[in-house]
Amino acid sequence: MYQEKLINTASELVISKKGVLAADESSNTIKKRFDSIKVESTESKRRDYREMLFSTEGISESISGVILYDETIRQNASTGMPLVELLKKQGVIAGIKVDKGLKPIPGSEEESSTDGLDGLEDRLHEYRNIGAEFTKWRGVINIGKNIPSINCIKINSHSLARYAALSQKAGLVPIVEPEVLMDGVHDISQCFRVTRDTLREVFYALGEHGVDMRGILLKPNMVLSGKDSVNRAGPEEVARQTLSCFAETVPAAVPGIVFLSGGQGDEEATVNLNKINLLAKEFKAPWELSFSYGRGLQAAPLKAWSGKEKNKISAQKVFYERANIVSLARQGKY
């Protein structure tokens, strides 16, 4: 019923030069962001901040879509226009985070699954009626002593596949996000193995659930050394290991990969994305290699804004410039 629409929307989200802004921070996460600039996290302040980003002139030059949070998708701009309509007016596709966060896997203190499958079908139809055209669900895999377990990878893969199948049934493109965290002292080869094993299981589960690969996007981690690793791999090695991993695991039918920044600093995330795109031709990569950054796009404009209306224009300029830089990296031109 929705097959053609799903394929078209997925392709639009990873169209040349563009990527996705992740503005789907939960209430707790956005509070931490606001704490860093000493601004109280109220509903109106959160609205003002998101409106500042979404109303930036020229945003559609580098941003194809924005992932929203449940609160945000229901909010109106200061003009009374729904934020979803503001994005559409800008030529940007609205999406929605539909998972309800992490919960511990029974019997494990270090591993988690993602909550939110209960009632998901009804929520998806509601979000579609509000104006969303795509969705996102995050599963988290930790690397550590004796983890991840096979059980953890299987549980998260099944949840991602069930979510993706329900999203497509509702006419919404699912962004499938299995994130292998960069926290830890592991080297890049260990990250490669865990990412490979996770993606194999994810795509097996997607196939079992009848998900059309042409109508999804993958939002993975890059293959990186652990944040606290002694000798962290450089951009060339990150690009080579990442593309090698995907060549083994990601079907060519998937239209695009939108990398998460995953705790990398702005410069590291940008340089690595640039190098991946430079090497993609050598690897004959069949997918668009784009971005879905949160902090990687927002850290600088958040600081420039600092909760003050008088800073709105200058913060928008910072956001526009940051988005343009990441767009250049997405093209291998940074």
- Residue 304 pLDDT > 90: yes
User: What was the pLDDT predicted at 102?
Assistant: 96
Is 109 a residue whose pLDDT tops 90?
no
CB atoms under 10 Å from CB of 247, counted, come to: 13
When computed from its CA atoms, the radius of gyration of the chain, rounded to whole angstroms, is: 19
pLDDT value at residue 199: 98
The predicted structure's pLDDT at residue 309: 97
Which residue in 18, 97, 136, 219 is the catalytic one? 219
Confidence band of 228 (pLDDT split at 50, 70, 90) = very high
User: Residue 7 is which amino acid?
Assistant: I
Q: Domain spanning 3-330: which CATH class is it, in words?
A: alpha beta
- The three-point CA angle 154-157-159 to 5° equals 110
Confidence of residue 171 (pLDDT cuts 50, 70, 90): very high
Interatomic CA distance for residues 223 and 229, integer angstroms: 13
| pLDDT the model gives residue 123 | 98
Q: List 195's β-bridge partners, or say none.
A: none
pLDDT digits (tens, 9 = 90+) for 270-302: 999 999 999 998 999 999 999 999 999 999 999
Among 132-136, 187-191, 229-233, 237-241, the least confident range = 229-233
Q: pLDDT value at position 95?
A: 98
Give me the pLDDT at residue 98, please.
98
Kindly indicate the confidence band of residue 1, based on its pLDDT and cuts at 50, 70 and 90. Answer: confident
Average pLDDT, whole number, for the chain?
97
Q: Let me know if 219 is a catalytic residue.
A: yes
**Residue written as token pair 């939002």:** 219
Mean pLDDT of 79-86: 98
pLDDT digits (tens, 9 = 90+) for 310-327: 999 999 999 999 999 999
Query: Which residues pair with residue 104 across a beta bridge?
Result: 112
Average pLDDT score over residue span 145-155: 97
What pLDDT shows up at residue 214?
A: 98
Q: What percent of the chain has pLDDT over 70?
A: 100
pLDDT at 21 over 90: yes
pTM (2 decimals)? 0.97
pLDDT confidence bin for 64, thresholds 50/70/90: very high
Domain coordinates in residue numbering, the chain: 3-330
